[in-house]
């Protein structure tokens, strides 16, 4: 009969142990949510840095293109003049056509860089959204743990 007397004490010990593990689980879920959000925020910062790098690369690419274009125009002028023609008529049309094509190429380089930047900024926004979702999921898990423990307490009280 003595073991029946120990049942309420064991029941209270189990409830106490359940409370401790539930609190630990709630803290763990919160910490995991914060960590996952911080990782997502870091990924967003990296994507934004990459977008900035794309802009710097654009400046470099355009400067290099301008240099190569100036060299091409110089070579074209030299060839036209070396052939004995002057810079009128077809020689002038070639130089103008080269300049028009150069503008088109520069616009394409600029457009591609802007698209790359937009993608990186979108990647950053998406990473932040994922971080917020991870944090919300952790909060939901915390609520589920707390309500589950509360339900088990109510069941034990009956």
Q: Please report the pLDDT score of residue 18 as a whole number.
A: 61
Q: Please report the pLDDT score of residue 154 as a whole number.
A: 61
pLDDT in tens, 42-90: 999 999 999 999 999 999 999 999 999 999 999 988 888 888 777 778 8
Q: Please report the pLDDT score of residue 3 as a whole number.
A: 46
Q: Are 42 and 131 in contact (CB under 8 A)?
A: no
Burial class (CB in 10 A: 0-12, 13-18, 19+), 77: middle
pTM recorded for the entire structure = 0.68
pLDDT in tens, 105-143: 999 999 999 999 999 999 999 999 999 999 899 888 888
Task: Give the residue extent of every domain in the chain.
Answer: 10-157
């Amino acid at each position: 009969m003595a073991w029946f007397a120990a049942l309420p004490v064991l029941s209270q010990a189990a409830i106490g142990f359940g409370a401790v593990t539930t609190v630990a689980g709630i803290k763990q879920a919160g910490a995991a949510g914060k960590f996952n959000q911080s990782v997502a925020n870091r990924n967003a910062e990296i994507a934004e840095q990459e977008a900035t790098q794309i802009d710097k690369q654009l400046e470099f690419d355009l400067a290099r293109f301008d240099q190569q274009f100036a060299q091409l125009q110089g070579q074209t002028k030299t060839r036209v003049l070396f052939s004995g023609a002057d810079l009128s008529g077809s020689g002038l049309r070639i130089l103008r056509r080269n300049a028009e094509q150069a503008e088109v190429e520069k616009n394409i380089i600029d457009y591609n860089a802007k698209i790359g930047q937009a993608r990186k900024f979108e990647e950053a926004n998406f990473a932040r959204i994922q971080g917020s979702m991870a944090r919300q999921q952790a909060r939901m898990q915390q609520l589920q743990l707390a309500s589950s423990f509360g339900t088990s307490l109510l069941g034990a009280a009956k």
